[in-house]
Chains A and B, each alone.
Chain A
């Protein structure tokens, strides 16, 4: 058995494998997702633990312009359009300011779970003044397909937990049975039933998980 075969086993991945997969993921993302900020590999030297590094992938300060309540959004846009037609002297600065006030910022961290031997997605949202967003507000920023998935299925759910390294509450996306659907992905993508190459592990994982939080994985990354 070659070393790569041991690194990904049964849909799970070792810590060493995760480091390799993470860097491969960040590289591919940078190459194929030019309009998007890049993921960075963060390694915090933990002073308490001497030279031990806590490592994770980080994508921060992604701006999502918050959507107003569903159809109300369209309505208000129509109203605005009418208003524009009627009123010549619109105060554009007011309009722009409103949009900025509604900007929500998101940080995403991909952290390795030594217990489950799979990656976990942690994320948090905050407004421009740094105030954390509640889960209700965050759900309104998620694609509507995700929200129904979260509410109806038992397969993925979001919990509020402490970030493993940062001593602060974050939200964690916990897909049940990660290793099972990774196994399915690797079985269906290879003709000879080989294990998924470690470099593609996180790409495959994120192609599923990222969708829940509205982050698309370009198809070119999956090659």
Chain B
């Protein structure tokens, strides 16, 4: 099995055990129902789990129409973020099973965009796929040119965690190749020549610059900590910065573009030497401690920053071709 295939299998098989509690204000039966235990695919989305969860609670619900949402310790969960990413980001110390609360009423529409179950999840997936295609290829023609039924099948393969079906459909997607200097074998998507989109091709036809779809989630805590279990609980999404910005990398001969390089290109204030400095004097005499990157997680793995970025992308990206990176930093202290 090619290294790339092995990694994809690892990513697709990743799952988070969830323990889902019905919110106490919605318990209309006595005794209250026990929590539902569900294994959630990392690459999946919370709304897709509802058909598995609802049977546990349907007899306990008060009358009325459902508008389903989840929270973790009171923080409403953004349903369009893959479940694995939510877990890596919100649980500094991984909690197993992960205790979530489900609500069937009172959708917080002032903070969460509406969700109509599977349709919303599918729309979000296809949109992300188009955006990723635009970043990689310079246009989203490859997605637009896919037949409706192929698009449906692609989504279904993701929804069902069916890697074989997904792999069979990939050649129809014709997504551009993200060159990986470390796996000699061809990656599963068929390479195509790219035009525009900020990609340069040198005389030998080798791609020199590339744009990579990345979604970076940065959680900042104010105090340094020894152990992850000392990291305080999250209160609101305002503690998290979300960056939906492509990483541009220039392949220089002899130099390896690492994961650290990629993250620093998005978070220049956290780069290298400056991050180690503490207690720098500001012009007005006040002291400011530079921030520090404490933890980088992708697909639940805490990665060493020296790993070549192209390897990370090719092996750990999600099915919509986005690489989701969760970062925990110590913020500035005054």
Query: Is A151 in the interface zone, CB < 8 Å from B?
Result: no
Query: Is A169 in the interface zone, CB < 8 Å from B?
Result: yes
A-B contact count (CB 8 A): 62
Residues of A within 8 A of B241 (CB): 46, 48-49
> What is the distance, in angstroms, from A173's C-beta to the closest C-beta of chain B?
15
Query: Do B134 and A48 touch across chains, with their CB atoms under 8 A apart?
Result: no
Query: Do A115 and B131 touch across chains, with their CB atoms under 8 A apart?
Result: yes
- In Å, the complex CA distance between A111 and B242 comes to 15
Interface string of B229-265 (1 = CB under 8 A from A): 0000000011111111110000000000000000000
For A48, give its contact among B113, B135, B196, B331 (CB under 8 Å).
B331
Q: How many residues of A contact B (CB 8 A)?
A: 20
> What is the distance, in angstroms, from B215's C-beta to the closest C-beta of chain A?
10
Within A99-152, the residues touching B (CB, 8 Å) are 114-117, 132
A160 in contact with B245 given A50-B269, A167-B237 (CB within 8 Å): no
Query: Is B323 in the interface zone, CB < 8 Å from A?
Result: no
Query: Is A74 in the interface zone, CB < 8 Å from B?
Result: no
A51 in contact with B113 given A115-B134, A164-B244, A167-B238 (CB within 8 Å): no
Residues of B within 8 A of A52 (CB): 267-269
Query: Do A161 and B237 touch across chains, with their CB atoms under 8 A apart?
Result: no
Query: Do A50 and B291 touch across chains, with their CB atoms under 8 A apart?
Result: yes
Query: Do A132 and B331 touch across chains, with their CB atoms under 8 A apart?
Result: no
Query: Is A69 in the interface zone, CB < 8 Å from B?
Result: no
Within A40-59, the residues touching B (CB, 8 Å) are 46-52
A115 in contact with B213 given A10-B196, A50-B332 (CB within 8 Å): yes
Give B contacts to A, CB under 8 Å: 78, 109-114, 131, 134-135, 196, 198, 213, 218-220, 237-246, 267-270, 290-291, 329, 331-332
List 10 A-B pairs, Cβ < 8 Å: A10-B196, A48-B240, A48-B331, A49-B241, A52-B269, A114-B244, A115-B135, A115-B213, A167-B237, A169-B112
